[in-house]
Structure 1
Amino acid sequence: MEFLISEILGWLTFLQRPSVLLQLLALAALALALVQLRRLPPLPRLRLLWRWPASVLLLLGELLIALLLALAGQRLGLVLLAIQIHLIWLALQLIESQLLCRLLTAEARQILVSRLIRPLFLIYVGLSLLDALGSLQDMALASLGVWFGSEITQGRLCQVVLVLYLLLVGVELPARWVSQLLQRGLSLNEGSSRALEQILRYALFSLGVVWALASLGVNQNGMLAVAGGLSVGLGFGIKEVFSNIISGLWLLIEGSVRPGEVLMHEGEVCEVRRLGPRATTLWRSTDNAELVVPNQTFFTTATTTYTRSDRMRRCSLALAVPRTWPPQQILDLLVTIAAEHPSVLAEPAPVARLQGFGIRRYDYSLNYSIPDPLLAGAVASELRLAIYRRFQDLGIDRPA
């Protein structure tokens, strides 16, 4: 704590220098001027300049400030640092908009930019500012104490945390590419490919953890002793987590639950959106909700799937019609109505059946096939409406 307080006092002393204050005020005035100018209507003489992006105008202003400070014989280290950071940011924007859009899908690009490129840029900005304040080396060598028989410094700990973060986030795309190459070369199915991707991610991250412990110089005997003491207590708390992870890998290898699969969950038809290491994300079409279900659920309960072999689903409608009408006429009418619907498949053909006799009404059923299980609710509603209208046109009492 004393070291941190002394470093903060050193930063305040550095910021109070006239040359530093001059650069900070110039940069702040430039940013404020650009904000105010953007609010004003464009002048006819400067209409071409107004078309330039604000980042480009800010860069030109920073270059102008650096030139003026150099002519005045003043220091311009902070201004040059701002120009450097600004150029790197513009380069990243150009790479993202021109190169990554052509090489990666939208999902992969979003993962790479939000989880890897921009966090690394923020880390670079922070380290550059600490270096400009003259505290980077001192903070890196500051000791955090002795852990498991080894002295840990802030610099070494930050280095290990950074590498582990890069492994945790950065290995997703390489693992996916390797699994796709092996899928093509070994003719693996989609589930095996995704399972291989997860195994590669776990293996690389485990190697990173081993390297981190070795880099920190942690005493392995002490670490094993602590791990052995905690294993019994933690085992009861995290056994469900490991059970879900193993279940997720097995589901991927077996292919019984795959992304895109349509299955029944708690009486609702859902589509599998993502099969993660711990839980599966399901999409429920009735209310556009996403359900996060632990992977172990699919091992402990029976699951009805509609797309294991194909996406075709056989549906049924039940209705009762007054007995005054001939059953054969009703059967033919129901088949005709189902066949006219654009979402009802011609093969297998719709089938109508007489299910039973009542005192006043006869019970009928209409069986038909649709190409997608997610269309079941909409098609059933449209068929009921079509039956009601056709019966009304023929003078048949509304079905029950």
Structure 2
Amino acid sequence: MMQLLQDFFGWFGYLERPSVLGQMLLALLPLVGLHLLRRRLRRRSPLVPLLLPLTLALIGLGTGLLAWAGQPYGLALLLLQLRAAWFGLDLLQLLLTKVLPSGLLHQLQSRLIRPAFLLLAGIALIDQLDTLDDLALISVGTWFGVPLDLSRLFLALVILYLVVVGSGPLAAALALLVKKVLEIDEGSRRAVQLLFRYLVVAIGVVWVCSHLGLNATAILAIAGGLSVGLGFGIKEVFSNFVSGLWLLFEGSVRPGAVLFIDGDPCEVRSLGLRAAVLWRDRDNAELVIPNQTFFTSTTTTYTGSDRMRRSQVSVGAAYRHDPEQVVALLEATARAQARVLPSPPPKALVLAYGESSIDYALRFWIANPMDNVSICSEVNMAVWKAFDAAGIEIPFPQRVVKTIEAPSPVSVPPAAPDR
């Protein structure tokens, strides 16, 4: 490890050479000028698309002059190639925009394409400063009784990163295949996808440990020691991890499920190893709830056996209207709504005789629990229009006040004077 640090600080001495500084200025100054010109020019200016090709041509001309003069030009040529390759990535992104969804394209660019380019660029720059073969043989210590050099550790980390990043698309493809073969619903597909991803990552970690030649006995011994710490410092994390796996296998809480949390329906967006992320439609908020919460408290779900939900709206009608007529009108109004399910059929009930009106409840079923508020609003508006067309009054709160006259006072004859 000390040898690696010595080589790292030794690179700064190489950067202080006049020939190296000249190549860096040749490559970097035109790029700085390009950035300043872009800030001054408007985005719609016809010159903006031509600035980068002109800058690259200018750097290439300078690199050619260095080669013609017999001066070192390798670093300048490398920086030119890297900037041109980055420009090629921008063009590739424009082409992929027409093929891939924006979310998938962003993940592909940010997690795979651009990190891979930066890794290769870093390796190329290090190759200009030092010899890669010598760096690969540098020892980074002994792990679990196995001596490791830099090349094996670097390869293991790269493969592990690729496994973690690439497990998402692979798991999604496998889950889609399972959905088509077994005809499972969307929530089950998401749960299967998450399980497949954990399985692929676990296999990748085992393969990396085997590639490094780590001692399995030493790993098990350390794992046994860590198990003692699970009972003290990180028992909550471990509990959430086990709860998340159990919920995936049980299927009671899975991506796509709709739960009733704090009086609001919330959709499960993802179920991670530590917590579940739920989306609340009322204010577009995301709730992060630890997995073990679903084991320690009662949870109401609308998607346990199906996704239907029974909704209800309340309304009052004046006493002069026949309750049978009002009930029939309410049920017909609910049946006419497009997002109200015809089966089970809507049902109107007489709830109570209130102070100002007869109180009714209209109950109906909907397909998506997350649409409850908007569908109830549509039904309420339809009820108001139906009552208005039928001449049924929705009375205001009223109270009958009856005035009672006080009785006349009784006249009492005056007392006779004393004699």
Instruction: State TM-score, norm by structure 2.
Output: 0.78
The DSSP-based 3-state class of the residue aligned with 1:52 is helix
* TM norm structure 1: 0.82
Identity over aligned pairs, percent = 44
Aligned counterpart, 2:35: 35
Q: Which has the higher helix share?
A: 1
Q: Is the 1:317–1:365 contact (alpha carbons within 8 Å) kept by the matching residues of 2?
A: yes
Q: Deviations over 1:13-51 (max 9, x none)?
A: 212222212111112221133234445669xxxx99725
Q: 1:352 is matched with which residue: 315, 334, 348? A: 348
Kept in 2: contact 1:321–1:399 (CA 8 A): no
Tell me the residue number matched to 1:71: 68
Q: Which residue of 2 aligns with 1:141?
A: 137
Letter of the aligned partner of 1:28 in structure 2?
L
C-alpha spacing 1:380/1:40, structure 2 compared with 1 (3 Å): closer
Q: How many residues align?
A: 395
Tell me the equivalent position of 2:21.
Answer: 21
Alpha carbons of structure 1 residues 337 and 398: separation in structure 2 relative to 1, 3 Å: farther
Aligned counterparts, 1:1-400, within 5 A: 3=3, 6-38=6-38, 50=47, 52=49, 54-99=51-96, 101-102=98-99, 104-134=100-130, 136-187=132-183, 190=186, 193-235=189-231, 237-238=233-234, 240-308=236-304, 310-335=306-331, 338=334, 343-345=339-341, 347-358=343-354, 361-381=357-377, 383-384=379-380, 396-398=394-396
Q: What CA distance in whole angstroms lies between the structure 2 residues aligned with 1:162 and 1:208?
A: 11
For 1:325 and 1:184, the matched residues in 2 are separated by 55
Residue aligned with 2:277, SS: strand
1:10 partner letter: G
**3-state secondary structure, aligned to 2:314:** strand
How far residue 290 of structure 1 moved from its aligned partner, in angstroms, is 0.8
Distance 1:367 1:379 in 2: 12
CA–CA separation in structure 1 for the residues paired with 2:55 and 2:123:
22
Unaligned runs of 5+ in 1: none
Deviations, residues 161-192 of structure 1 (Å, cap 9, x unaligned): 22211111122212322332344345555455
Return closer, same or farther for 1:268/1:195 CA change in 2, 3 Å cut-off.
closer
- Aligned amino acid, residue 358 of structure 2: Y
Kept in 1: contact 2:141–2:149 (CA 8 A): yes
Whose radius of gyration is greater, 1 or 2? 2
- Structure 2 CA distance for partners of 1:111 and 1:352, relative to 1, 3 Å: same
- Alpha carbons 2:258, 2:301 under 8 Å: kept: yes
8 Å CA contact 2:245, 2:273 repeated in 1: yes
Give per-residue Cα distances to partners, 1:370-391, cap 9 Å, x unaligned. 4432232234345556656777
Gaps of 5+ in 2: 399-419
Q: More displaced, 371-380 or 328-337?
A: 328-337
